[in-house]
Amino acid sequence: MKDQVVHKLKKLGFLCQSCNFDCQQIYGDIGKEYIEANHLAPMSELKKVETRKLTKKDFVVLFSNRHRMIHKLKDASD
């Protein structure tokens, strides 16, 4: 599944979909292609035996600070 996620990240790009933050622009080469993926359907909600093909609609890409803040919300779906 990790390979699927990496492939989807490359398709989604590396700008935060919440604020357009670009790590490479701020941090140079060390920030190149750095972003975090947030699953829109929490992995904890998948059944143990459930497998499915991931699509880019399963994720949003977010800067790490925004990703962490989303997980503090009671409803992170918005």
pLDDT digits (tens, 9 = 90+) for 28-52: 999 998 999 888 877 677 777 667 6
**Does any domain span residue 6?**
yes
The count of structural domains within the chain is 1
Q: In this structure, are residues 62 and 17 in contact, taking their beta carbons and an 8 Å threshold?
A: yes
**Does any domain span residue 63?**
yes
**Does any domain span residue 78?**
no
Q: State the Cα–Cα distance between residues 64 and 70, nearest whole angstrom.
A: 10
pTM, rounded to two decimals? 0.70
**Does any domain span residue 76?**
no
pLDDT digits (tens, 9 = 90+) for 3-13: 666 676 788 88
**Does any domain span residue 21?**
yes
- Residue 22's domain comprises 2-70
